[in-house]
Amino acid sequence: MDSETKLLSAAKAGNAQAFERALRPHLPMLFAYSRAICGDFHAAEDVVQETSQIAYRKLNYLIPEADFAGWLKAIARRQALAARRKLTKASIVAENVIEKIYQDPTSAALDRRGEALEVCLKQLDGRAAEAVRAHYFDGVKLNELAPKLSMTPAAVRQMLHRVRLVLLECVQKRLGVESLT
Amino acid sequence: MKLFTCDQARAAVSDLLAGDLGMADGRSLEAHLAGCDGCTRAAEVFFWQDRVLAELTAGDRLDTIMGRIRAGIANDTPKAVTDRVRAVRVPRPRWGMAAAAAAIFVVAVVGAIAFLRPTPPATGVAAQPHRQTPAFPAPVAPANEKPVIHDHPEYVPPPPKPRPGPAVAVEQKPRVPDRVEKRPEPPPPKSPDVPNPVKQPARVENKPDGVAPQIDLVKTPTLAVQFGVAYLRGRMARGVNREPRGDELILWTLIHSGVPESDPDVQRLLTSMLERKLEKTYNVALQAMILEDLDRVKHQGRIAQCAQFLVDNQAKNGQWGYGEPSIFVESVAVATKPAVAPAKAQKAVKEFPAAGSRGPKPEVKTFVRIRKMRPGPEGGDNSNTMYAALGLRACADAGIELDRAVLQLAYEWWRRAQVRESKTPAYGGEGWCYGGHDHGHRGYGSMTAGGVGSLVIYNYLLNRDWTRDQNVKNGMDWLAKNFTVTENPGPSEHGGRPGAALYYYLYALERAGILYGTEKIGRHEWYPRGVEMLLENQQTTGAWASRDGGNEIHDTCFAILFLRRAVPALPPPVATK
C-alpha cells in the first residue's frame, strides 16, 4: 500500500505512468465488476476505460486515507449503470449479491479459491471448454456462440449452467469445503 | 409473477450471468432470492465464479485495456462510454411532465381554496393549529455563513444493546417504583385542532442526596410511556408527522417502548426507512442505532452503509453537519433479506418488557471494514456531531470496523471545542455550545450533556478509560454545578429561552449519565429527578411539550426515551494510564 500511496502522489503531480502503475492491479476487478453490472463484455471494457480516465482527471479529489480500489469501484459503478441503461431497460438483478461479492476489491482470482477455480477451469475440455472460452474470454454472446458449436442457444445456456456446477464441485473438492446444499 | 423453484432459480442465476435472462424471469429470481438463503448463497458462488473468470479474462487482456486507457489519458478526450455502447434507446414515457402538470393543477386548486376561505376569528382557539416547529434542522448553510441554529429536538437517542464483554456496571432498571396500582382514566378525545395546553414544567427542587422524591403511584413511568406511545400512534394515524426525517426518532422510541418489531406501525416505519436513501446525519445515525438494536447481523449490510455515510460526512475539523449523500454508500453490500413481514397486528401499548429485556443480541461473526472515501465539509455543528457519535457506536457494535483516524479526529474535536468558562463563574465548569470553543458562546446543558456522552463513546471506541479523561470530568462538573431538570441550563443560544429544548436536553442528560456509568451527577440523582418532572408535566393527551417552543412529537419521543433509559450502557472502562 505504501508503494500505491507513493505512486498516487506522483500521479497527482502529473505523472501518468505512476497512475498507470497504481491502476493496473485493479483493472481485472474493475472489468469484472463492470461486466457484472452492465452485463456486456464490450461495454465493460469501455466502462473500465472511462473509469480510468475519470479517475485520472479527478485524482486530486482522492483523499490520502481513502481506499483507491474502492474509489475506482464507485466510479465504475456509476459508469456501468449508465452503460446498462443504454443497453437494456431491465433493472439490475441480484444487485445485493453483486455488491457483496465485490465488497472486497482485492482480486478474487489471486486467492486460494480463485487459484483452485483456475485449475478446475483448465480441466474442462470439449465443447464445454470452448463455450467458456468464447463466452468469457472472447466476449461472444450466446446467440452468436450457438451456431459455432452447432447447438441451440438454450442448449448452450444449459451447458454453461452445468459447467458452473461442475466447477463448483471441483473447487469444493480441491479445497475440501462443504457442499452448498 | 412466476414463482421459481430452487432449481429454476439457480438455473436463472446462471442464465443471468450468461446475459440471457428476461425481465419477467429477473423479477421472479429477485423475489425468490429475497426469501431463500440457500439460493442466495448459491447465487453468491456463481457470481464469485463469474468474478474470477472475468478477472482472468481481464488479466489476459490487460495490455490491450491498458493501451486504450493510456491513449485515452494522453488524448484526454474522453468519450462517454454510453455513446459508444450500441445502444437501443428505449423511449420512456414522459411521466415527469404529466406529474408536474398535475402537481401545478393541484397546487393551484388548493391555493384558490385557501385564498377564498374566510379568515377564522383571531381569538378562537380552534383557529390555532398545532405549533409547527420543524423537527429537523434546516438545510445546511453555506460554509461561509453562520447557520441559524435552534437547539434541535430532532435527535434521536441511543439504543440499548448488550455489548459483548464484561458485565455492565450500570444498573439498568429504573429505580423509581413502577408498579401500576390504578390505571388513570384516559382523557376524553380532543379535536385535533384544539391545541393542547402546554404546562409549565413544575419546579422540582434539587433535593439533597439520599432523599428520593416520592412519586405518585398512579403516575408511573410505565403508564406514562404507554400513554406517550398512544399519543404518538394517534399522531401517526392522523398523518400529523409529515416530516419523514422524523420517522427514525419515532421508530426508535417505539422500539424502546417495548413495541414489537411485528407491530404494523413499526413495520411501516421500518420498511419506509430501509427504502429511503441515506441523506442526513441525524437520520442515518438513528437508523444505525435502530438496526443494530433490532438485529445487527441481519441488517449488518445496511448498518455498514450507514457507517460509510457517517464516515464520509465527517468534516475536516472532526465535526458532522447535516450531511450529504455519499456515492460510496452504494458500493457497500446490503443485507439480502428484507424486513420481516408483519405478523398479526398486536396492541403493542400493552406489551412492555422492562428496559433491556429484548434478550441477547445475535453474535457478530463477520466484520466489515469501512474507510473514509471522500473529504467532508469544513465544519458542522455539535448537535449533529453528538448523534454521529451514537451512530458510530452502533456501527461498531454491529461489527463495523471504523477507521481509527476518524474516531481520533472526532475525539480531538470534542476536546478542542470545550468552552473555557473561567471568566463566567455564573455557570462554572467547562461545557460545550453548538460550535467550537471560539464560537463566541458559553456552554449550555443540552450541548454539554451531549459532549460528555460523545467523549465517553470515543474513549470507549478508542479503548481508553473515560473516567480518567479530564475533559469528561470537566463536562460532568459543569452538569453537576448547573444541574436541573426543569430547563435547559446555561445561557440559551440562538435567542432561545431556557424552556426551549428541555426534553432534548433531558435525553442528552440520560445519555451522559448512563454512558458515563453513574446514577448521580454531582450529588444529584438525575433519573429520579427527571422521572418526577416528566410525570408531573405529561399532558392529558399523553404528549410532552417544551414550554418555550419545540416539536411536540419529538419532545414526547425524548421524554419516553429518558423514561426508558434508552441508551445502552457501556462495559466498564479499560484501565489505562
- Domains, chain A, in order of start with CATH, read 2-101 (1.10.1740.10), 111-175 (1.10.10.10)
Partner-chain residue, chosen from A90, A109, A137, that has the shortest CB–CB distance to B52: A109
Question: What pLDDT score was predicted for residue B490?
Answer: 81
Query: pLDDT class for B130, splitting at 50, 70, 90?
Result: very low
CB A45 to CB B82 under 8 A? no
CB A31 to CB B57 under 8 A? yes
Strand, coil or helix: B368 = strand
CB B328 to CB A70 under 8 A? yes
Mean pLDDT of A69-97: 90
pLDDT over threshold 90, residue B83: no
Partner-chain residue, chosen from B11, B51, B69, that has the shortest CB–CB distance to A102: B51
Query: pLDDT class for B110, splitting at 50, 70, 90?
Result: low
Cell numbers for A91: 433493472
At B180, the amino acid letter reads V
Q: Which of residues 105-134 of A touch B (CB under 8 A)?
A: 107-109, 113-114, 117-118, 121, 132
Mean pLDDT of B522-530: 91
Mean pLDDT of A56-71: 86
For chain B, domain boundaries: 6-64, 221-563
Question: What pLDDT score was predicted for residue B102?
Answer: 59
Distance CA B251, CA B261 (A): 10
Mean pLDDT of B548-567: 88
* A-chain residues near B59 (CB < 8 A): 28, 109
Question: What pLDDT score was predicted for residue B210?
Answer: 45
Partner-chain residue, chosen from B52, B86, B371, that has the shortest CB–CB distance to A117: B52
pLDDT digits (tens, 9 = 90+) for B5-39: 888 898 899 888 888 888 888 888 988 988 888 88
Mean pLDDT of B520-536: 91
Cell numbers for B158: 441511543
Question: What pLDDT score was predicted for residue B178?
Answer: 41
CB B375 to CB A61 under 8 A? yes
Distance CA B296, CA B362 (A): 7
Least confident of A45-49, B85-89, B540-544: B85-89
For residue B5, count other CB atoms closer than 10 A to its CB.
11
CB A85 to CB B82 under 8 A? yes
Partner-chain residue, chosen from A57, A79, A108, that has the shortest CB–CB distance to B48: A108
Helix (H) or strand (E) holding A56: helix A41-57
Distance CA B431, CA B452 (A): 9
Query: pLDDT class for B409, splitting at 50, 70, 90?
Result: very high
Q: Which of B14, B57, B403 to mutate against chain A (most A CBs within 10 Å)? A: B57
Question: What pLDDT score was predicted for residue B226?
Answer: 86
CB B73 to CB A94 under 8 A? no
Partner-chain residue, chosen from A30, A43, A71, that has the shortest CB–CB distance to B373: A71
The nearest alpha carbon in chain A to B23 belongs to A90
Provide the CATH topology of domain B221-563.
Answer: Glycosyltransferase (1.50.10)
CB B15 to CB A141 under 8 A? no
Mean pLDDT of B451-460: 94
A5 touches B at CB < 8 Å = no
Distance CA B542, CA B186 (A): 9
pLDDT over threshold 90, residue A30: yes
Q: Which of B32, B41, B56, B299 to mutate against chain A (most A CBs within 10 Å)? A: B56
Question: What pLDDT score was predicted for residue B219?
Answer: 67
pLDDT over threshold 70, residue B404: yes
pLDDT over threshold 80, residue B68: yes
> Which own/partner contact pairs does B174-177 have at CB distance under 8 Å and 24+ positions apart?
B174/B221, B174/B355, B174/B527, B174/B531, B174/B563, B174/B565, B175/B212, B175/B519, B175/B525, B175/B527, B175/B528, B176/B212, B176/B215, B176/B220, B176/B221, B176/B527, B176/B528, B176/B531, B177/B215, B177/B217, B177/B220
Question: What pLDDT score was predicted for residue B337?
Answer: 42
* Average pLDDT value for chain A: 86
Q: Which of B30, B49, B84, B337 to mutate against chain A (most A CBs within 10 Å)? A: B49
Please give, rounded to a whole number of angstroms, the shortest distance from the CA of A127 to a CA of chain B: 16
* Average pLDDT value for chain B: 73
Question: What pLDDT score was predicted for residue B76?
Answer: 63
Question: What pLDDT score was predicted for residue B164?
Answer: 40
Please give, rounded to a whole number of angstroms, the shortest distance from the CA of A65 to a CA of chain B: 7
Question: What pLDDT score was predicted for residue B576?
Answer: 52
> By C-alpha distance, which of A170, A97, A143, A62 is closest to B33?
A97
CB B301 to CB A168 under 8 A? no
Strand, coil or helix: B400 = strand
Question: What pLDDT score was predicted for residue B567?
Answer: 86
pLDDT digits (tens, 9 = 90+) for B218-241: 568 888 898 899 889 888 776 655
> By C-alpha distance, which of B217, B388, B391, B172 is closest to B288?
B391
Question: What pLDDT score was predicted for residue A73?
Answer: 92
Question: What pLDDT score was predicted for residue B59?
Answer: 86
Question: What pLDDT score was predicted for residue B34?
Answer: 86
* B-chain residues near A15 (CB < 8 A): none
Q: Strands B524-525, B400-402: parallel, antiparallel or unpaired by DSSP? A: unpaired
DSSP label at B136?
S
pLDDT over threshold 90, residue A79: yes
CB B334 to CB A96 under 8 A? yes
Partner-chain residue, chosen from B11, B332, B374, that has the shortest CB–CB distance to A63: B374
The nearest alpha carbon in chain B to A38 belongs to B19
CB A180 to CB B327 under 8 A? no
As a dihedral over the C-alpha atoms of residue B88, residue B68, residue A63, residue B323, rounded to 10 degrees, the angle is 0
A78 touches B at CB < 8 Å = yes
Distance CA B376, CA B379 (A): 8
Distance CA A176, CA A165 (A): 16
pLDDT over threshold 60, residue B555: yes
DSSP label at A170?
H
**Most confident among A96-110, B336-350, B460-474 (mean pLDDT):** B460-474
A137 touches B at CB < 8 Å = yes
Q: Which of residues 29-58 of A touch B (CB under 8 A)?
A: 29-33, 35-36, 39-40, 42-50, 52-54, 56-57
Partner-chain residue, chosen from B59, B330, B371, that has the shortest CB–CB distance to A67: B371
Question: What pLDDT score was predicted for residue B162?
Answer: 38
CA A122 to chain centre: 19
pLDDT over threshold 80, residue B549: no
Q: Which of B107 and B479 is assigned the larger pLDDT? A: B479
Question: What pLDDT score was predicted for residue B126?
Answer: 34
Please give, rounded to a whole number of angstroms, the shortest distance from the CA of A149 to a CA of chain B: 16
Partner-chain residue, chosen from A36, A65, A86, that has the shortest CB–CB distance to B50: A36
Please give, rounded to a whole number of angstroms, the shortest distance from the CA of B185 to a CA of chain A: 50
pLDDT over threshold 60, residue A142: yes
pLDDT digits (tens, 9 = 90+) for B157-213: 333 443 443 333 333 344 444 433 334 444 443 333 333 444 444 444 444 444 444
Size of interface A-B (CB pairs under 8 A): 241
pLDDT over threshold 60, residue B340: no
Q: Which of A158 and B243 is assigned the larger pLDDT? A: A158
Q: Strands B368-370, B520-521: parallel, antiparallel or unpaired by DSSP? A: unpaired
Question: What pLDDT score was predicted for residue B330?
Answer: 81
CB A71 to CB B301 under 8 A? no
Partner-chain residue, chosen from B11, B62, B373, that has the shortest CB–CB distance to A67: B373
Q: Cell numbers 459447467 label which residue?
A: A163
Question: What pLDDT score was predicted for residue B335?
Answer: 45
Question: What pLDDT score was predicted for residue A2?
Answer: 55
CB B331 to CB A83 under 8 A? no
CB B78 to CB A168 under 8 A? no
Question: What pLDDT score was predicted for residue A106?
Answer: 81
Mean pLDDT of B307-330: 91
Kindly give, in sequence order, each residue whose CB lies less than 8 Å from that of residue B93, ignoring residues fewer than 6 positions away.
none
* B-chain residues near A47 (CB < 8 A): 81
Cα Rg of chain B (Å, integer)? 26
Question: What pLDDT score was predicted for residue B514?
Answer: 93
Partner-chain residue, chosen from B65, B86, B333, that has the shortest CB–CB distance to A45: B65
* A-chain residues near B40 (CB < 8 A): 97
* A-chain residues near B375 (CB < 8 A): 61, 63
